[in-house]
Structure 1
Amino acid sequence: MPIEVDGKTLETDEEGYLVNLNDWVPGVAEVMAKEDDLELTQDHWDIINFLREYYEEYQIAPAVRVLTKAVGKRLGKEKGNSKYLYGLFPYGPGKQACRYAGLPKPTGCV
């Protein structure tokens, strides 16, 4: 189902992930969050930007356990835990945050 971002129609797969990762712009996250009735804060953007950097470096979207550990190292212990991440992304920090970041679905996510 395509999404409309900044006047452009972007293709997504059946789970809502961007088909073409190069189509991502920050507006993608805004549109997807709005569909989920979620308002993005700086804390959300910290995780979204972290995921994009992680993907750029490793060419893979991290599973939740890896994400939690990596966020803890980079952003601090108080942010590197499941409770914090699920508070930001209630549909699952791996799946939902990666979708907002324009990344493929993390391996190991159902």
Structure 2
Amino acid sequence: MNQREIAGRIVGFDDENFMVNHNDWDESIAAALAEEEGVGLLNDRHFMVIEYLRRVYEEKGTGPTIRRLTKESGVPTKELYSLFPGAPAKKAARISGIPKPKGCI
């Protein structure tokens, strides 16, 4: 585990830059992680995905697959890729403060 300061707090991250403890997350950390990931400023649509990811993680212990994310979050695939360019499920999980979803490579 690597610890570093982000948004004025010391937070633990794994080797792939996913937060170790999702309870350390808050919106200021999400904003800082979004900048690091090249997402920019977060808006309501970003938070729709983030809140969905956090809710699924708390219920099931893992984040959803990209397929489930696009079917159940209320954000279609094309928009998801524009909100979180490149690797939307992975970037959204990092910004959401949850561990890497099991379906991600």
Secondary structure at 2:13 match in 1: coil
Distance between the aligned counterparts of 2:8 and 2:104, measured in 1?
Answer: 31
Instruction: Please report how far the alpha carbon of residue 5 of structure 1 lies from its aligned counterpart in structure 2 after TM superposition.
Output: 3.3
TM-score by length of 1: 0.83
Structure 1 or 2, whichever has the larger Rg, is 1
Partner residue in 2 for 1:33:
34
Distance between the aligned counterparts of 2:85 and 2:47, measured in 1?
Answer: 15
Partner residue in 2 for 1:60:
62
Q: Which has the higher strand share?
A: 2
- Structure 1 gap segments, 5+ residues each: none
Partner residue in 1 for 2:52:
50
Partner residue in 2 for 1:99:
94
Distance between the aligned counterparts of 2:3 and 2:33, measured in 1?
Answer: 11
Aligned alpha-carbon RMSD (Å): 1.6
Percent identity among equivalent residues? 40
Distance between the aligned counterparts of 2:4 and 2:27, measured in 1?
Answer: 13
Between Structure 1 and Structure 2, how many residues are aligned? 103
Q: Hey, which bits of structure 1, 4+ residues long, moved more than 4 A?
A: none
TM-score by length of 2: 0.86
- Structure 2 gap segments, 5+ residues each: none
Partner residue in 2 for 1:16:
17
